Amino acid sequence: MLNKINNHIRNRTLRKVVFNYLKKPFRKFNKRYPLFFQRDVYNKLRYGPKAPLNHERIWVNPADIKQMLVPSEVKRITGKTRDKTSGQIINWDQVEKTRPVRGEFKIRYCIQHWVDGVSWEELGVIDFLKNNSRKHRRKTDQELKDRFKMLDEAFEEIKKEGRLKTMKELNPDNYREYDGILIHIGKDGEPFFGSCGNHRLAMAIILGFEKIPAWIGLVDKDSIKYLDMYREPPESEKNKM
């Protein structure tokens, strides 16, 4: 045993061996949530205790979300897909283009359906998904009709409850707010929709909710100071957490 230690000291590998030994208990967790150590620890060490966490839950007023940052712009800035950038801190000056949330087709067709009463068929949503969604293009028309029937049921349930559930409530095994309504925090703390959770966001806009749970995305380096405001849940949610 001592010979092995001496060999590691001579080869300058002792530090690596000790580090790997201490890391063993976390390997299973880190395999499932690989950005936990990379993002959480790095952010806290570099940017301080108020820095964002990977897949952290924040609370946002839907009425404040005017613009959106599309996935292709996120990929251009970071070189990563949007689900790999949760909690990543950037210089927002890198952002070249955003577009209005109300101009997004999924948001628009939800408003036309649930507010104006236009049917899903009249809106052409099935053809839209088949032509524009890798996730849904192989599904049959009936499967897609069933999906929109499910959305109608979800809308009525959310309307009745008067709130959006957190992702943890919807799935107890979910990690933090992963795969929820994705919100990037831009300059001066302005929220930008990240094009994930379109239907839930549309429901919240239509129903006039004042605060909804959201999945944190990119954060401007000068907007970290605003995160405590976004971390504060509404009074009605505090007894549910």
pTM of the model: 0.82
**3-state percent breakdown (helix, strand, coil) of the chain, nearest 5:** 55, 10, 35
Q: Give CA–CA dist 138/28, Å, rounded.
A: 34
If you average pLDDT over residues 128-145, what whole number do you get?
A: 76
What are the sequence ranges of the domains in the chain?
49-238
pLDDT of residue 139 exceeding 80: no
Q: Give CA–CA dist 161/139, Å, rounded.
A: 31
Query: Which of residues 1 and 172 earns the better pLDDT score?
Result: 172
What pLDDT is attached to residue 127? 82
Q: DSSP letter string over 129-142?
A: HHHH-TTTTTS-HH
Average pLDDT, the chain: 86
